Structure 1
Amino acid sequence: MAQPLSEDAIFACGRKLLIAEGKISFTVSSDGLEVKFPTTRKISAELDVPHYYVLPYFAGLEANGYLTRTERVGIFTTPAGSRRLFTGVSDEELSEIEGILGKKVLDALFERDE
């Protein structure tokens, strides 16, 4: 059954797909962390909605500075989008993300205090 669409649902779904894939591709610059985000088609399939339903949400996220799309390259979070992607992460998700990135990388990226 289709889930209600929202920007938060798009980010939660993106996080779920990244964890399920078992890899998180990112770049780090002086501006911050940018994460390669799943495609609009993967998001729509996971949310069980037609592809054209998610496109306006992606356009809104891009207009609001959370995502950038480059033809034939992909969709990436901006530094603000990366913070939003990892906001509200459950303990289980955090453990799975740490399993992908490793503790040292996760600590360095998110400047966690232990």
Structure 2
Amino acid sequence: MSMRTLRVDSHVFSDSIVIEAHGAVDVSSSESLEHRLRSALMASSGRRKLVLDLSRVTFFGTIGLQLLIWADQECRERDVTLWVVASERPVLRPIEVAGLTGRFHITATVPPVNEHAVAEQP
């Protein structure tokens, strides 16, 4: 059993969905992030942005890269922009090593969202 844990929260706004991950993204913990991403994509109709906030992620394994690639493809098919919030080595380094830096919109802070939150959680 993994000692690493992952907590995933999401916030739905009128123009975007923000998913926040806290902890380690590895094989044993990735299911919760994948579930939240799938739910957000299903709820993305009419929204322009899906923001994946990884600024509090302490470990980002290969499964995390796979989820990013998958989410990016799904967002492109839906005409939704995927933003990845990351500024620390545990997330940025795997993305760089995999040669994926240019594929994603990476920012150090959450991009502006319409502050009118919708009550639902994806």
| TM-score > 0.5, shorter chain as reference | no
Bigger fraction of residues in strand: 2
Larger relative contact order (Cα-Cα within 8 Å, sequence gap ≥ 6): 2
Give the TM-score of the pair, scaled to structure 2: 0.30
Point out the structure with the larger helix share.
1
